[in-house]
Structure 1
Amino acid sequence: MCHDKFPTASRLGQHMVGTHKRPGPNACDLCHKSFFKKSALMTHRATIHKIGPVVIEKKKKDKVCETCGKGFSSTAVLANHIRTHTGERPWHCPDCPATFKANGTLQAHLMSIHDKTVNRLGQEKKADKICCDVCGRQFISPSALRLHYDFHHLKKKTKHHCEICDKYFLSAHDLRTHSNTHTRVPCDSCGKKFKDQEALSKHLKKHSLPSWKGPYKCRSCDVTYSARNNMYEHYKLKHLHLKKEDRVTIKNLFKLDKEVEVIRLENK
């Protein structure tokens, strides 16, 4: 007899059938398999023996959160949700100070940060990694290695395609990060770029501050700043048409009776 614990009767039934080979009350008349739930038997007959429709059992979300009223299908999922309200983080990493609201998040942390997996008995073991023969990078699964190899070494195209510049990316996250470079909105006054028009509008208010809040007025336009370095950056980008990374010294910028001199510095 084992001492494994399961959150639901369904999980326990799956464990009993798969691990201990205990027969369920719903036997298949076409093969030796049996199931604890009738819906599982019907799904088996439909997918394996091609008889009847596939039955998708929807779990009732009758476990309700008293704080926000949201429903969940199990007490375990509800308990994880409640921690979003209480801030409780009962799962502690044994190797660092990190804490987590759910055990699943802890397991992902252990695997990605500490290269470990933990079984149901709390026993730790090192996650075996697979090495890429071409570049030496390591991966935790053959599927991850295959994605890496196909994309980076075989140069295969993926479904994550940028329609603007025709580039391909390994993941949807990489594509979203890249897409932000196309949608950023520039400020005409200082050259800074922002993720959307709303962020740009908030930034533009800094350029329209009254003189008592922005004593440094541009000598070539009506923009004012509350800090000298911001004015310096504005003049460099807007009126000298230089790049942010260009190393220059702007002399006489705040001496209106003298001409501005630009001295280029050698890059290190």
Structure 2
Amino acid sequence: MSDPETCRMKEDDAEPQTDLLEVIELKDIPNFITGKKTSQTEKNLSQKSARRARSTRFLPCAHCEKSFTRKGDLDRHLRVHTGEKPFTCVQCGKSFKLADGLKKHLRCHSGVRSFHCHECGKTFILPSHLKRHMIIHADFKPHLCSLCGKSFSRLDCLKKHQRTHSGARPHVCFECGNAFNSADTLKRHRRIHTGEKPYTCSDCGKSFTQSAHLKQHERVHTGQKPYYCSFCGRSFSTSRNLPAHMKKHRPDA
């Protein structure tokens, strides 16, 4: 007969051995939690993700200390150094480093002003233009002219104003030689020579060289008259009509 104590020892030893077998064979049987067996495709995808994670390296810029994780981001950044502008406007030829820059620029040609100021109703092509305009209503003018004390909400407006004191006109038209105190003024002037009219009325299709002219024209369709006489309340669609009307109330003015 077998020794009872020996039999108990053998039965006790069998329990951890069974557990070990369960651990070893666990990878080959259905998942005991989800009830699903890991497919070969899932294993391959997991291994591919692991290799990608291991192979991820920061892509350094050869011109500066910046680095990127994606080649597309690096390629876009390199245009800062190379000056490359692969995105070109077919209407005016202006080029941009990013596709988003061209997309925003194309709104200038469309004349569509979908961003409205809730304070005065003025409309803008880009949200950045509206944001810049809102400073006017906040009456925040931190940029002070040291010569006359006039203040401005934007630094570029102060610089443009300061040229009125110096008389500087650094922007010259190569077609006719006329000089201007700002690049924007020269750009508008150049349309006289090129015949470009980038601002188009969405109602009738008429085009204009300046956005202000388009806005004034659009009042023909909307009936808007934003200029009011403080004496009688009569309104006008253009600012130039108001002074002439005001003289009827104050002929000596």
Higher CA-based Rg: 2
Task: Calculate the TM-score normalised by the size of structure 1.
Answer: 0.32
Indicate the structure with greater strand content.
Answer: 1
Higher relative contact order (CA 8 A, sep 6+): 2
